[in-house]
Amino acid sequence: MQTTLMRFLLLSLLLLPLGMAMSADRAEGVKPNFVVIFIDDMGYGDIEPFGSKLNKTPNLNRMAKEGRRMTSFYVASPVCTPSRAALMTGCYPQRVGLQRGSGHIVLFPGDVHGLHANEITVAETLKAAGYATGCFGKWHLGDQPQFLPTEQGFDTYFGIPYSNDMWPGLKRWQFPDLPVMKNTKVVDLVKDMDAQATLCRRFTERAASFIREHRDEPFFVYLPHAFVHGPRRASPKFMAKAKTVEQAQVEEVDWSVGEILKTIREVGVAENTLVLFTSDNGPAGGLSAGPLRGRKGSGFEGGHREPTVVWWPGTIPAGSECHEMATAMDLFPTFAKLAGTKAPSDRVIDGKDIAPLLLGKPDAKTPHDRFFYQQGGKLRAVRSGPWKLFATGELYNLDADLGETTNIAAKHPDFVAKLQKMLSDFRADIANNSRPVGVAKNPRTIVPRPGVTGDEGFLPTLSLPRPKK
């Protein structure tokens, strides 16, 4: 009894300063659940809460009405692998050696590189704190055995190990078939576009089942969808009513959000579950950055600033919005603190606690005085307050010029000098405080290339010559 009382008091002390008013009947010993829905290649202007006039997103509309829009939420890179590495580790991708793949901007099938085993992920930290952890969707942090989700803190994994375009249908490379995995085993192959169309539904159903199974214990669900990355096809009912395949996929993603939130409500854990929806980088072709300049792969706002909605009924103020700067790297330390634990202190973690921002604490301000943008695996720009300076010298005031249309560097040499020093300091910091990328011995693809027998069929994609056009 005494131990239980101490746990209650400790939890109360941790949570109440954050403005987190938990009712007495559920406070004792209860840790909040976390769900991160991570879309692939969706732009800032692709959903109705962020201005889309094309795509109908009623579930995200409801999520925003019941929750909070984050209008200045960033990912750490404008492409897949480094963005996901930052989310999982709370670090800029250069910090963990995954600013790019071994021979390409992202990791490829059979890549020698991946997330190092010594890195501590948000999943590992939450698992150590008593959470059930599940990953359902696109991983893309290494496909060798030591890099897979079940070796990085997830109890359960169901999904594809890298991008859905890394399959024989993309003729620019000699790709193997696209495997669907359950934990460490291949359970299916994505052979055609009809199979591609099932990925959103399959990942959603697995995530919903996991929530139902673990309703009576704290859980962390990471749902990194393959949608809306190409090649694109959605389920028939969405394809039938949409004007474009991009619209169909966005609207099926919205359906997925609705299914997850409905499941959370049905199992009775809505008032103890934080759900965050965002994207891994800016829009690919056919999708929209809204008012932002730039797209996927770009150092402009359109490459890094993502449409983000956070929901926690009874805790996050309904219908609210936050314009303060926050990042996907912040989720690790924030979730850890809300769970009553903390991110590792034996290494540099770039993310910071943004619970006051997420939870709508009055007058909460960003904990970041700077944010660094990437492009092509290299440092591209820095933002501090409204000021954004590119490494090439262009300066923009994002409050006055969100679309980054007018270079005002000549008018503000003081801000140019200040931000140039931030860029220099960051380069020096990374040089002195970065950690090694994971390296696999004798890497091979998970499944063979079609029609190729023996060991040759499992050769890493990047070790093979590019097909001649």
Q: Which residues are catalytic?
A: 80, 140
The number of C-alpha atoms within 13 Å of 16 and in the hemisphere containing its C-beta is 9
Token match 């606690």: residue? 353
At residue 315, the 3 state secondary structure works out as coil
φ, ψ (nearest 5 deg) of residue 418:
-60, -45
Nearest-angstrom CA–CA distance, 149 and 419: 37
Q: Rounding to the nearest 10 degrees, give the CA dihedral for residues 113, 114, 119, 121.
A: 170
First CA to last CA across the chain, in angstroms?
73
Report which residue type is found at 290: G
CB 34 within 8 A of CB 126: yes
- Tracing tokens 């050696």 back to the chain, one arrives at 97
β pairing state of 326-327 and 68-74: parallel
Query: Is residue 334 packed enough to be buried (19+ CB in 10 Å), middle (13-18) or exposed (0-12)?
Result: buried
**Measured distance CA(171)–CA(281) in Å, rounded:** 24
How many degrees, rounded to 5, is the angle at CA 236 between CA 231 and CA 240?
100
What is the DSSP secondary-structure string of 173-231?
S----EEEEETTEEEEEE-SHHHHTTHHHHHHHHHHHHHHHTTTS-EEEEEE--TTSSS
Write out the E strands in 312-386: 320-322, 326-327, 371-375, 378-384
Q: Take residue 336 and report the two structure tokens written for it.
A: 């850890």
Strand partners, 220: 34, 133
**Strand pairing of 156-160 and 178-182?**
antiparallel
* Residue 284 near residue 79, CB atoms below 8 Å: no
Contact 300, 294 (CB under 8 A): yes
